Chain A
Amino acid sequence: MGFYPIIWEEWITWSQRFLIYLGMYMLSPLLFLITFGWGSGRIDYLHFLLPGIMAFSALLNCYNGVCNRILSSKRALNTFEYYLLAPISSFSLTLGFVLSGALRGFFAVSLILLVGTFLHVKLVLSVSFFVALFLLCMTFSSLGVAVGAKVTEFEDSYLISDLYILPMSFLGGTFVAVDKLPPILHYLSWLLPLTPGSYLLRSLAFGHGWNLLYLLAILGWLIFFFVLAQRFLYQATQE
């Protein structure tokens, strides 16, 4: 349980700014839902869109939340090294940061689900759906920890956001089905972790059950990003 204090600290700071975070989590997904979904007047598209927006929101909130937390602790608060000094394994440290980001994202996505209910979008909300959602949150949070641990300047993280996260959020099967994209983008989109994520959520939300291929892809990305995050956190003590 070496990871628990990191989540505890996150919870204390998070609960103090609950309303601010609430607004932050809701704003962009709500805008997308209203303009692309509700605004289109097509309930079938809104139905398609909602799981995509959830995957999109999981990506943004998990990645940004934890990446910014680590970068701030490195550059502004100087607390990053305090955690590196704690007698906990690099695995526990990584798990602590990853879980803190994942829980934040999970909460944010759950709020979107609530909004979807108000918009009369009916999804199959099974345990499997929430497990898949949590796996997705863990994946993007691991990516955030890896980037936060590796980069030293906010500018570098903005660059990664602009060149990787932003294109992924639009090409990852969130707003349109990837087979509607031009062929090259269609194939490229399957190289992005968001694509199997949004398709897996959609599959479960539509009551089609687990898609093994999407699940394996997500698990693969999760392991890859987690190992990368652990490695970069370890390297932080090897200057």
Chain B
Amino acid sequence: MILLDGLTKKYGEKEVVKNLQLEIKEKEIFALLGPNGAGKTTTIRMLTTLARPTGGTARVAGFDIGKETLEVKKHIGVVPQQLNIERELTAWENLELHGMLYKMEKKIRQQRIEELLEYVGLTERAKDKVGNFSGGLTRRLMIARALMHNPKVLFLDEPTVGLDPQSRRKIWDLIKVMRLEGMTVLLTTHYIEEAESLCDRVGIIDYGQLIALGTAEQLEEKVGKAVVEFLQDNTTERKFFPSRQEALTYAKELEQDFTIRETNLEDVFVQLTGRGGIE
């Protein structure tokens, strides 16, 4: 459904996305993880036709992002990082505007608006101006808007950034429903938990390069199933081991207090990017 073939983006001399090779299958929910400036948003901008690749190509929903931009636009839904909804319009009017931009017939448009407002829990707020909505409500409306024209692929760029835990969980529920409905979703996120709980596969991108790809379990196995954590010189050290037994054998030799636990995706991220966490 999404095929990246050597996708590259340069701004001047700076290469921000380097030769990305990736295939995202139909009905897959895929997370692109990476620190700030890693190239996640630039990749999404290229795939959604908002930026032009300087090298390589990509196909989205079967269409070339460089040569068939109108076709790509017809088949994708995009929820960008920033709140980009018309605040002077009501929730209903925003969806109506979207339906008109995508040339949906009036009757189908009205029916779809009702369905989607119910889906995101905004039926009661349909006639309220979006300028009065909280960040969480606006984000939910943006998701409804992106789904309005029944896209084949949905791009979610940091869909829960800046939201309170309650709103974040509500958006997670929406994504889980999308999974059940067989939607192909590419999301970028800062939150490891989000990627772990929602996505079929994860790609880790750093300095514009894809440095790891697989399911959360596969990636965790790559660095080791068990981790020993201990404090050394005021820094938390982590040692990875293929099994809990081996971790325990190592830990017994330590003079410091230690913790043994299962490896998670955040450990994989830290280990692979060499950075102290997702910024």
**B31-72 near A? 1/0 per residue, CB < 8 Å:** 000000000000001001111100000000000000001110
A12 lies within 8 A of B100 (CB):
no
The one of B50, B71, B97 in contact with A85, judged by C-beta atoms closer than 8 angstroms, is B50
B48 vs chain A, min Cβ distance (A) = 6
Question: Is A77 in contact with chain B by the CB < 8 A criterion?
Answer: yes
Total contacts A-B at CB 8 Å: 64
Q: Interface range on chain A: under 10, 10 to 19, 20 to 34, or 35 or more?
A: 20 to 34
B110 vs chain A, min Cβ distance (A) = 15
The one of B45, B73, B86 in contact with A79, judged by C-beta atoms closer than 8 angstroms, is B86
Residues from chain A with Cβ under 8 Å of B97 in the complex: 5, 8-9
Question: Is B197 in contact with chain A by the CB < 8 A criterion?
Answer: no
Q: 12 pairs across A/B with beta carbons < 8 Å?
A: A5-B97, A8-B97, A9-B89, A12-B89, A13-B86, A13-B88, A78-B83, A84-B50, A87-B74, A88-B101, A237-B49, A238-B52
Question: Is A220 in contact with chain B by the CB < 8 A criterion?
Answer: no
Instruction: Pick the most buried of B51, B71, B88: most chain A CB atoms within 10 A of its CB.
Output: B88
The one of A8, A77, A82, A237 in contact with B87, judged by C-beta atoms closer than 8 angstroms, is A77
**A4-27 near B? 1/0 per residue, CB < 8 Å:** 110011001100100000000000
8 A Cβ contacts from A189-220 to B: none
The one of A13, A83, A88 in contact with B89, judged by C-beta atoms closer than 8 angstroms, is A13
Residues from chain B with Cβ under 8 Å of A85 in the complex: 48-50, 73, 78
Number of interface residues of B (CB under 8 A): 27
A5 to B50: give the CA distance in the assembly, Å. Answer: 20
Question: Is A2 in contact with chain B by the CB < 8 A criterion?
Answer: yes
Question: Is A81 in contact with chain B by the CB < 8 A criterion?
Answer: yes
A177 to B200: give the CA distance in the assembly, Å. Answer: 72
The one of A12, A86, A237, A239 in contact with B93, judged by C-beta atoms closer than 8 angstroms, is A12
Question: Is A89 in contact with chain B by the CB < 8 A criterion?
Answer: yes
A2 lies within 8 A of B52 (CB):
no
Residues from chain B with Cβ under 8 Å of A78 in the complex: 80, 82-84
Question: Is B106 in contact with chain A by the CB < 8 A criterion?
Answer: no
Residues from chain B with Cβ under 8 Å of A86 in the complex: 73, 101-102
A79 lies within 8 A of B85 (CB):
yes
A89 to B103: give the CA distance in the assembly, Å. Answer: 13
- 8 further A-B contacts with Cβ under 8 Å, apart from A12-B93, A81-B80, A86-B73, are A2-B103, A13-B88, A13-B89, A78-B80, A81-B50, A82-B84, A89-B70, A239-B52
A71 vs chain B, min Cβ distance (A) = 15
The one of A77, A84, A88 in contact with B86, judged by C-beta atoms closer than 8 angstroms, is A77
B198 vs chain A, min Cβ distance (A) = 23
